[in-house]
Structure formats: structure tokens, C-alpha cells
Structure 1
Amino acid sequence: MARSDDDSWDLASSVGATATMVAAARALVTRIDGALISDPYAEPLVRAVGVDVFTRLATGEIEPSAFDIDDEKHAGMDRMVDNMAVRTKFFDDFFLEATAAGIQQAVILASGLDSRAYRLDWPAGTVVYEVDQPDVIAFKTRALADIGAEPTAERRVVAIDLRFDWPAALKEAGFDPNKPTAWSAEGLLGYLPPEAQDNLLTTITDLSAAGSWLATESSPPLDAAAMDEAKEKMDRSAQRWREQGFDLDWANLVYFGDRNEPADYLAQRGWRMTGQNINDLLTAHGYPPLDSDIHFAQLRYIRGVKP
């Protein structure tokens, strides 16, 4: 089913299922000796969601290669796991560096099954705001409490859909727009319509005091041919997932079409932007690069500072 302006989901369906899949990938990375990142809460959270295929993936009962399509290794789950390793490391380092520089409030937008409020070594006095749909926030809070997990910062939840007045809810939770903030929009922008992406980035800018930091992803928009190719690959990938017992139309989760490139959009609004290409991050951490002729190889993980 295609996305709509008023659709909803939980962690086992639609967009919410992607948060569980990403957590399963983090669990796989964490199980590797000498792993680049450690997320001890990923596997318990995936188990709590209860989708069999994600649980079997997170625990190693299914090999990631089971989801490869036509031996296209760059499009398979193996490469997604590699990407989750470097992506998680990028955002972990971003928050640790921002707070080490003196920022005391962090906002994780569309926090899903993100466990950074529980697993990072936050400086004393840091407040971490998690923004997501009420059911998602409630589920994660309960699941982590059930295993005795405790936040390592002052965690404040903002249970609201980003399509509603989340800035007001954020302020009501204690957020101070006059203080520098470290913002993350990780794995989020592609699930927003182009106009909503611009509105989100503009709103973040408006809420950011001088000295704020921001991290997200950025890539050039797809042309028509690349869009058709991406949809066709998503359809084939969905078939492999159906063969493993999970039916979800991946191509209908994202919004295609013309959109502003986030790095440029933010730079035009005063942010000083830097970034690293996905292949640079992969090779820097000992992973093979993606095939250069696929669009995903143009992805950049970006961070900015507002003067």
C-alpha cells in the first residue's frame, strides 16, 4: 500500500518495520568480534517487536545473504549491514563530539529503536530528547525497562508524529531553542515527501541557536531512469523478503520525485556543512566500497554547524 498523508504504523508494519530491520542490522554488527559499534539493546528490542524474520536475522539464524537479489551483492542485506555499521558510527561520533564541545541538549528525530540515550557515554548534564510516534516511544520505553536498561543521560520523550506540531511538543518537554542543540535526522528524509523534507530542515534551522550541530544524509535526486531502476530493485528485494515470510512493499515506503539535496539546502540557510561519501566511510573502516555505478554510492553522511 502506498504512503499517504495520514497513514500510521507500528514497529512491525510500514515505515516502522524499517526501524526494526535497521535494529536487526545493528544487532548483527554487534555480534561480530571487534565490531565497529556496539548496541547491546538492538537484539532485545527486535525480539520484543516479535516479527519472526527480523528476530531470526538479528540472532544469526538467517544469513543476510538470504535476501540478496540475483547475486547483486551491492543490493543485498550484507551491504546494508556494512552500511549500518558505518552509519551508526558516524552518528555516534557526531553526538559524542558535539556534547564534548559543550552542547548539552540533543534531539533525535524519528528515534524508532535508536538506543543512544541508553548506550552512549553522555557527559553529565546532557538532556536527550527522543521524538517519534506515541506508540513507538511507549513500546521502546517499556521494552527497555523490562530488561532493566537505564538511560545514560536525562532522557525526555516527545511522543508526537512529525507531521504535527512537534516543535511545540518539544518545547513543552523542556527544549530550549536559545541553547545550542545537536540534532540528528538519521535514515529519515527519504520517508518524507519533498516539501515535508524542506519544512523539517527549515524548522530545525529556526529552532537552532548559534553553535548548534546537525547530522543527516544527503544524496542527489534520482532521475527518471534511476528512479525506475530503484523501484524495480526494491520490488525484487521485497520478493526475497516474502520468501522468508515477511510481506512488505519496500518501494511504496519512500517518496520518489524531485527534491532538494539536503546538504545544499542547509548550506543555503547558513549551516557550515561537511560530509563524507558512503564509500569513503566504508573503506576507512575496512569495508569494501559499493559499486560506483549505483545511486546509493553517491550517498553522503553530512554534518553542519550553525554559526
Structure 2
Amino acid sequence: MRTDGDSWDIVTSVGLTALGVATFRALETIDPDPMIHDGYAAWFVEAAGEPRFTRLLKDPAAVGAMARFGRFMGVRTRFFDEFFAAAWQRGVRQAVILASGLDARAYRLDWPAGTVVFEIDQPRVLEFKDRVLADHHAAAKADRRVLAVDLRDDWPGALTASGFDPRRPTVWSAEGLLPFLPGAAHDALFERIDALSAPGSSVAADEFSRGLDPDHFVGMEEKLFGDSPFGDLDVGDLWYDDARSDPGDWLSRHGWTVHLTTPFEMAAAYGRPLTDMPAELVDVAQQMRYVSAGKRG
């Protein structure tokens, strides 16, 4: 169960979910017809050495239903990839990746010259990530600045101390983050983003529009995956279901133009309709939506 001020590394608690997402990105990347290309994801999985995830990469043919979950993650990853690309095409040169986990976008996306990418996450997660990237002699394609700070703490102070300029438009991402924040921290996140965003900024997040029963998610895991790749970790125990503002409604009320879409709509737009997914996964995906918004002048 979560506690105030809890922390984790890459193979425990919330960190293990980041490793799981990296595994699904790696599986999608090696698919014969992939939606994304993330050659960094497998590095992280192999370096972590978590046996359930490394087994999946060694024997993709045995993945079964998890392959469909990889395709679902492919849709999500591509959505955020294209969101960043659209921002830099508008001239935005400042990006903030909240709860960056094992996100390697500073390395794998073709950022324009002069772009600064800030990554914020737990200290031990970032230490692991940086060590793996250094071991592989990876070179970032942007001016990458890493902030080891909890999103429940004063991350805006750390951000500005690292050279963030609130007078310039910023592109923000909160991918796979919101259910892991308590309601107060969830609402404070958007208040802080708004306060730090100049006109022309944009933000994207994924969230569960009607709320998701953690027990339902666990039941889906057991039915689809049998031996869960998360082992004894109950992912539902990591989420908060206390009261919080609806992100789209909140942003609309505070001067942002909001667009909402679903995984099914995005997959269809990519020419990859999610037509062969198990009913349990469809039910979960139907409760998810992607929120993107631009701040008006």
C-alpha cells in the first residue's frame, strides 16, 4: 500500500510499473509491424534483471495476450511522441516530462536544435536510468536536464533552479502518472503547470474518465496473464481513488483549449484499430482517455 512520502527503485512499487511499461514498449518495438521504435526500452529491462520481464523479451512468441497490451502501449507512446513533435513544429523549445520513469524521448526523438528537455522523477529511478544510458554510451538529442524530486514536493522550485523559463512556451507530458498521485497532489500538479505555463504552452495526460476499480484491473491481469509479470505486487494498491478534479474540465476553466480522445480513436487514426483485444482489456481502455490542451493567450 502507498504511504505519504514513500519512495521506490526500478524493481519495487511504482518503479516496477515503469519497468513493465518499458517491457511492453520493447515488445511492441520488436513486433513485425510495430507502431513505435524504442530501442532503449530493452536496455532498461535487461539491466534491471527482473526475471518475469526478461523472460518476456527472450521469448516474444510466448507472450500471448500480453502482445495486445504491447499494442495498447504502442498507441499511448505514439500519441505522446506526436504531441511533442506537434509542439516543436509550433516553435516550442522547452519540454517537461513529469514522472519520466524510463522514458527515453530525450534520446530517441529528433528534437530541434536548442530544445531543453527536463525530466522529473524519483532519485533512484533516475540513477538507474542514467547508469544504463551511460553504459550504452547513449547521447541525448536535446539539452537534457534531470531533476530528482518527488512530484508531491516542491518540483517547481527545482525546475526553475535548473534553468526552466516560465516566460517561454512549454510542452508538458504526464504519461501514466495521474492514478499514482493522491487527489491533492493531482490537483496541485495542474495548478502548478498552469502557473508555470506561458501562452502557447501545451500539456497532455492520460487518465481514467470514470475512475477505474483497482480490483477490476487486478482481475483482468489474472485472466489475461495468468502468472502476472508484476509478481506479488498488486498494481491496484498503488493507485489513489480519492476525490480530484477532472483534468479536462479544470483546464477548460483556466484558459486552456482542451481536446479529448480515446485509445480506440487514436488507434483508428493510426490505421491500427484495436479490434482483436480481449474483452477485459477493452473494458479498461474504454475508461481511459487522452487529454491534450493548449494555453490561450
TM-score, structure 1 length as denominator? 0.88
Q: What are the ranges of 5 or more consecutive residues in structure 1 without an aligned counterpart?
A: 66-75
* 1:29-79 Cα distance to aligned partner (Å, 9 max, x none): 1102331110000001111111011112234357333xxxxxxxxxx5333
Partner of 1:269: 254
Question: Is the alpha carbon distance of 1:177 and 1:210 closer, same or farther for their aligned partners in structure 2, counting shifts above 3 Å?
Answer: same
Paired position in structure 1 for 2:274:
288
The superposition leaves residues 182-229 of structure 1 with CA deviations (integer Å, 9 ceiling, x where unpaired) of 00000000111122111111111111011101011133233xxx6375
Structure 1 residue 9 corresponds to structure 2 residue 8: yes
Q: Deviations over 1:228-262 (max 9, x none)?
A: 752552673699345x6822111201112443221
The amino acid across from 1:152 in the alignment is K
Q: Distance in 2 between matches of 1:80 and 1:301?
A: 17
Q: Secondary structure at the match of 1:294?
A: helix
- Partner SS state of residue 169, structure 1: helix
C-alpha distance in 2 between matches for 1:114 and 1:34: 21
1: CA distance, partners of 2:119 / 2:214: 35
Amino acid at match of 2:145: R
In structure 1, distance between residues paired with 2:222 and 2:125: 29
Alpha-carbon displacement from aligned partner over 1:117-140 (angstroms, at most 9, x marks no partner): 000000000000000111111111
Structure 1 residues 23 and 239, CA, compared in 2 at 3 Å: closer, same or farther? closer
- 1:177 touches 1:208 (CA, 8 Å); kept in 2? yes
How many residue pairs were aligned?
A: 292
Letter of the 1:100 partner, please give it: Q
**1:22 maps to which residue?**
21
Query: Do the aligned partners of 1:217 and 1:262 also contact (CA within 8 Å) in 2?
Result: no
Please list, as runs of the form range in 1=range in 2, the aligned pairs for 1:239-258 lying within 5 A after superposition: 240-241=226-227, 246-258=231-243
Distance 1:204 1:275, change over 3 A: same
| Deviation sequence 1:75-119 (CA, Å, 0-9, x none) | x53332111101000000011110111101100000000000000
User: Cα RMSD between the aligned structures?
Assistant: 2.2
**Superposed displacement of residue 281, structure 1:** 1.5
What SS does the aligned partner of 2:97 have? strand
Report matched runs for 1:24-173 at 5 Å.
Answer: 24-61=23-60, 63-65=62-64, 77-173=66-162
Instruction: Call closer, same or farther: CA 1:238–1:28 in 2, change over 3 Å.
Output: closer
Match of 2:181 among 183, 192, 196: 192
Q: Is the 8 A contact 1:231 1:251 kept in 2?
A: yes
Aligned sequence identity (%)? 45
Q: Within 1, Cα distance between the matches of 2:84 and 2:90?
A: 10
SS at match of 1:180: coil
In 2, distance between residues paired with 1:61 and 1:230? Answer: 26
For 2:25 and 2:230, the matched residues in 1 are separated by 21
Cα deviation digits, residues 275-298 of structure 1 (max 9, x gap): 221111223332324659725313
Q: Distance in 1 between matches of 2:172 and 2:261?
A: 18
Answer whether contact 2:202 2:295 (CA < 8 A) is retained.
yes
C-alpha contact 1:219 1:262 (8 A) present in aligned 2: no
How many Å separate the matches in 2 of 1:153 and 1:100? 15
For structure 2, the residue ranges without an aligned partner over 5 or more in a row are none
> 1: CA distance between counterparts of 2:154 and 2:223?
35
Note closer, same or farther for the CA distance 1:80–1:129 as it changes in structure 2 (3 Å cut).
same
Q: Is the 8 A contact 2:66 2:224 kept in 1?
A: no
Q: Return the alpha-carbon distance in structure 2 between the equivalents of residues 143 and 277 of structure 1.
A: 33
The TM-score, its normalising length taken from structure 2, stands at 0.91
Select which of 198, 207, 213 maps to 2:202.
213
Cα distance in 2, alignment partners of residues 238 and 4 from structure 1: 29
Cα distance in 2 for partners of 1:269, 1:25 equals: 35
Q: Distance in 2 between matches of 1:234 and 1:173?
A: 42
